Amino acid sequence: MSQNDSEVNIYQTKAGKWEKIHTLSEHSQRVTSVDWAPESNRIVTCGADRNAYVWVLTEGKWKPTLVILRINRAATCVRWSPQENKFAVASGARLIAICYFEPEYDWWVSKHIKKPLRSTVTSIDWHPNNALFACGSTDFKVRVFSGYIKEVESKPQPCSWGTKMSNGTVMAEFSNGQGGWVHDVAFDASGTRLAWIGHDSSISVVDSDNGNKMTTLKSKFLPFVSCIWVTHNNLVVAGHDSCPMLFNYDDNGNLTFSSKLDVPKQKAGGGGFSALAKFQNLDKRAQADDDSGKTTIHENTITQISAYEGGKDRITQFSTSGVDGQMVIWNFKSLESSIAGLKI
């Protein structure tokens, strides 16, 4: 999926090279989010055309099924639940659609969660219990909702976030302060810790096992766009600095910066820079080059971090993709050997 494309391309590695093998082309406007369910092998997409589709591989071709979203603004984000029996679609319509399959009509239907949402919802992440989910929005708020759907699942058991879990119940609400909207949210593997990142270059973590204690760290870096838990105590975040970074959240509730994970490489040609090189970098990264002579692997904003190997309790490899069109796979074992003092 490109930044401004209504199509989704699927690639496969053959002899060490990426080859396009499928194109999903049902959307009429820009595709804003894609999520692939690994167990059921289904893809869900949503877009600026206010539609969502569930794609199923049948006889070698991906066939779409329309989702009845009933929204009047662009869909912004879509995520499968852990059991892959439903998914949540965020939107600019100040609502979230919880979608599930209706076998009687052979299509996907939705239930809306509206209150107390007051602005565009930008991000979603599901709790491991399959019933709760967290969302971030442009009103500087992070909320934990119940997305329980009685038609497709049994009644959820009480957890550290609360006991009453009827659909749409607000389990918790947190403010990201006055400085920035929320770009991304992420539960850890246990579901007791929730992290989010804001446009004010902040990182926040709430621990539901500790009375919803919130810890916020205002970083010196450019705003982050994506975050993911890689262990119970470690987060990887990335964004406009074009570099993934590791933060530690200890059992006492302290949040600290650990390390940049991209070891800068020396540019060819030594310390001097030509005018042409500076203009090329300005074109690619929308910023002037510095005098350090060093750069990162990504040449523009990192927009997404995804687990590549391992679960949230212990991710051993993760991938990053960005505005520069690159996808990079990072191995923690290799990172620990190349970065002094790094220990995951």
The per-residue pLDDT for range 200-222, each reduced to its tens digit, is 999 999 999 999 999 999 999 99
| pTM greater than 0.85 (yes/no) | yes
- Rounded mean pLDDT of the chain? 90
Q: What is the pLDDT of residue 263?
A: 76
Summarize the confidence of residues 309-319 as an average pLDDT: 93
Q: What is the pLDDT of residue 105?
A: 84
| Range of weakest confidence among 1-5, 217-221, 224-228 | 1-5
Helix (H), strand (E), coil (C) string for the chain = CCCCCCCEEEEEEECCEEEEEEEECCCCCCEEEEEEECCCCEEEEEECCCCEEEEEEECCEEEEEEECCCCCCCEEEEEECCCCCEEEEEECCCCEEEEEEECCCCEEEEEEECCCCCCCEEEEEECCCCCEEEEEECCCEEEEEECCCCCCCCCCCCECCECCCCCCCEEEEEECCCCCCEEEEEECCCCCEEEEEECCCEEEEEEHHHCCEEEEEECCCCCEEEEEECECCEEEEEECCCCCEEEEECCCCCEEEEEECCCCEECCCCCCCCHHHHHHHHHHHCCCCCCCCEECCCCCCEEEEEEEEEECCEEEEEEEEECCCCEEEEEHHHHHHHCCCCCC
- What whole-number percentage of the chain has pLDDT above 90? 80
Confidence of residue 267 (pLDDT cuts 50, 70, 90): very low
Confidence of residue 275 (pLDDT cuts 50, 70, 90): low
- Superfamily covering domain 8-261+300-338: YVTN repeat-like/Quinoprotein amine dehydrogenase (2.130.10.10)
The two three-digit tokens of residue 320, written as one number: 């990053």
Ranges for all domains in the chain classified under CATH 2.130.10.10: 8-261+300-338
For residues 267 and 292, the answer to whether their CB atoms sit within 8 Å is: no
Summarize the confidence of residues 20-31 as an average pLDDT: 95
pLDDT at 307 over 50: yes
